[in-house]
Chains A and B, each alone.
Chain A
Amino acid sequence: MQTTEVELTALMLAALDGDARAYRALLGDLRVRLLGYFRRRLGGAEAEADDLVQETLIAIHSRRETFDRAQALTPWVFAIARYKLIDHHRRGGRRLAVPLDDVIADLAVESGAAAADARRDVERALAALPERARQLLAALKIEGASVAETAERFGMSEGAVKVASHRAMKTLAERHSKGSVADD
């Protein structure tokens, strides 16, 4: 299933014109390539490679207007991937996203307190997020609402909910690993 440069670029051009099917095919192909790229460079740190693939795909999506339609696609994609990799190393190679369950477990261990305390800590961590991101995560992860329900409640598309919650989780994970949540 080796796609050529010309085919990839054509898919991107179609996607920029609003063709969702071409875009889905393109992202599926790029995911495989990006995973290989990050695996080779991270020496088998599977979770980190996965996170960076997601980071890069989101960046490709949100910055897709910076693609020059007269150029080939893969140099553009891998320039973004390299940027994300450098950014990752610059931040000390920490994991970018930590599942909320891990956060809860860690908080419970660190504070040496019972589950009720852990929950309060999580809520305090959430309070440090912007209002909308906090409400979104609270609905999704604490109340356990589905993406569709959350999207409806907040008047957002499901895609927007997923992207926003991904971002919020990342912010949370970063704060948590810096210790600012446990310390204050």
Chain B
Amino acid sequence: MTDDLLDALCRDLAPRPARRVGPRLGLALGAGCAATLAGVALLLGLRPDIGSAAGLPMFWVKLGYPLAVALIAAGCLERLSRPAGDPRRRMPWLAAPVLAVAVAAAAQMSLAAPAARAALVMGGSAMVCPWLIVGCAAPVFAALAWAVRGLAPTRLRTAGAMAGLTAGACGACLYGLHCTEPGGAFVLVWYSLGMLAPAAAGALLGPVLLRWR
């Protein structure tokens, strides 16, 4: 029986492309981000001053911070989508963008008048921002879950968490096109929360969503 099976598996053996994990994840990321971008533009609306906002440093912090997290988390997810793939060399890099934003936020805070400091943390949208980021992450998470379960993750909880973090970071990055908050501390607290929530959900759902046969 097993001999038959082995012969069957060897029949019609076609060469395989050297790279398939990266492109598959990239495709899912592209599709998910396109859906989220459409959602942000149509449902939330881009920030009204989007043309001139490119001159504001905070606009780039809000794009760059989640983008950096997304790229590093996607790199970890690429490892976790393979049996025996080890993300431990890539994972520590996640601290770098967080530290960079923390430094920028502290600098901005120290320069601000004491009365204005609370506003730099809470802004006007602290209570909706993480939720909207979670909403923005959902299409990316769905696309990534599809992509990863078609590969071969063997540590489903970790892979789920990393897929969630990648999706959360992509969601936050695109949400930054809508958000007009000027505070670095706001981004550090509420954007990070919005990115971590999908990561937690991914850790919970990973063993169910990513199971393959």
Contacts and interface: CB of A to CB of B under 8 A. Distances in A.
B6 A18 contact: no
A166 B154 CA distance: 23
Contacts of B16: 16-18, 64-65
A95 to B, nearest CB: 14
Nearest to A60: B9
A50 interface: yes
Nearest to A63: B152
Interface stretch (B39-47, B80-88, B117-125): B80-88
A23 B10 contact: yes
Given A64-B16, A157-B11, A58 B6 contact: no
Contact of A61 (B9, B18, B81): B9
Contacts of B10: 20, 23-24, 27, 159
Q: How big is the B interface, by class?
A: 20 to 34
Contacts, number: 98
16 contacts: A19-B13, A20-B13, A24-B7, A27-B6, A31-B6, A57-B6, A65-B21, A68-B82, A80-B83, A80-B152, A83-B152, A87-B211, A158-B11, A159-B12, A160-B12, A163-B8
Interface of A: 15-20, 23-24, 27-28, 31, 50, 53-54, 57-59, 61, 63-69, 71, 75-80, 82-83, 87, 157-163, 166
